[in-house]
Structure 1
Amino acid sequence: ALALEAVQSASGRCPCCGQQLMRRPRIASLADRYLRGEHENQLLERFFSEEITAKTENGSSATWDTLMRPEFHTFHKSRTFHKELSESLAVLEEIQISCPQILEDAEHWHFLDLCCGKSLTSLVLSTRCPDLTVSALDRVGPEGIPHYKEAGLSVKIPPRCPASPAICGDAPRRWSDCTSVEISACARWNSLKSWNRFAFVSWYHAVCRI
C-alpha cells in the first residue's frame, strides 16, 4: 500500500528528498492577501507587486520562481514566513541604502548570512543579485534548509570561511584578508565586544570585500 501511494503521489513530492509537498505554498496565499490589500507592510506590498508584475509581463521572476520550486519546500510550510520574508527584504533595502556599492560591484563582494536559519535572506539576495557570492552559515541540519545543490544554486563558501558553532564571535579573527566586516548583536554579543573596532552593529549579517 505504501509503495502504491508513493507511485501515485510522486508528482506531489520533492524530487530531492521525497517529502510531501503542499498543493499550494503559503507564499502564494500570502501574495494573494497582499494583492487584495489585506496587509499593510510596505516592503512586502512592493515585493509582491514587483514579482507578480514581472511574472505577468515577462513570464518569469527570479525570486518568485525560485521560491515556488519544489526544492525550496522548506519555505512553503513555514508559519513564520511572513515575518522572515519581511526581515530579509529589510536587509536588502538596508544594503541598497547604506551600501549600494555592494550591488553595483557585486562580483567583488561576499555576503555572509550569519545565523541564517532557513537561509531566506541568502535566497532573496542570490536571486536579486546573481553576481554576488552568498554564504549561509548556521547550526542547521540538512533537513532544515532548501536543496540548493539540486536546484543549481549551491552556496559558494571559500575554504577560509568559518564553519564552527562560534560563528559570530570568531568571524573577524578568521579572515586575515577582509577589508570590511559588518556584524550585528546577537546571542554572542559578549564575544564581539573585544572586536568592535573591526565591526559596526547593524543587522546579524556580515559583508566582506574579496
Structure 2
Amino acid sequence: MEDLLVVPLDRANVDTDAIIPKQFMKSVKRTGFGVNLFDEWRYLDHGEPGQDVSSRQPNPDFPLNQARFAGARILLTRDNFGCGSSREHAAWALSDFGIRALIAPSFADIFYGNCFKNGLLPIRLDERVVQDLFDLVARPSGLRLEIDLEAQTIRPVGGDALPFGIEPERKRRLLKGLDDVALTLGQADLIREYERVRRAREPWLFN
C-alpha cells in the first residue's frame, strides 16, 4: 500500500473561489487548472489566465510552495472546506495539481459530491483526530499516510489505523474508477432498447 505525503492548509471555510479564482474558469476540459490552485494565496502578485506562472512571485509562507511538502498528494484542512459556489472547477484544480485525497472535519455538500465525480477521496474525521494529524504534520519529518479505501482506514506510517466512513456506492465508484459518463455507458443496451421502443411508439418525434 502506497504512503502519501500530507500538506496542511490550516484554514476553515475555504471557499471554491479561493480554491480556483473565477478568472481562471475559462475552460471545461478539466485540465490546466492545477497551476492556479489557491492562486491568490500561492502567489504574491495577481494572476491572469494564460499567464506564465514561472514569471510570478510565489508566496514562501504558503504550504504548497514549501520544499518539504513538494509532491504532496493528501490535503489536510479544516471545517467546511469547499463552501461557496458550486463550481466543479475546484475539484478539477485539486486533481490537476496532483491531490488524490482530502481530510477535514467537514466539507460543503456540493463540493463533496464533486470530489467523487472526479476521482478525489474526501475523508471526514473527527475534529480531535484532524488536530492530531496537524500536530504530526508539524514535525520536522512531516506526515505520510497510507489510505486503504477497501478497508476504509488511513494509517500514519508506523502508527495505528484510523477508520473513516464513506457511502457504499461512492466507494464502489472510486474503487472501479467510474464517473457519471462511465455509469451511463454501462447502461448502453438499455438506453438503445428504450430508444427503439420509443421510436416505434412515437415516430413523429423522430421526423
Q: So what's the TM-score if we normalise by structure 1?
A: 0.31
Comparing both structures, which one devotes a greater share of its residues to helix? Answer: 1
Greater CA radius of gyration, 1 or 2? Answer: 2
Query: Which structure carries more relative contact order (alpha carbon 8 Å, separation 6+)?
Result: 2
Comparing both structures, which one devotes a greater share of its residues to strand? Answer: 2
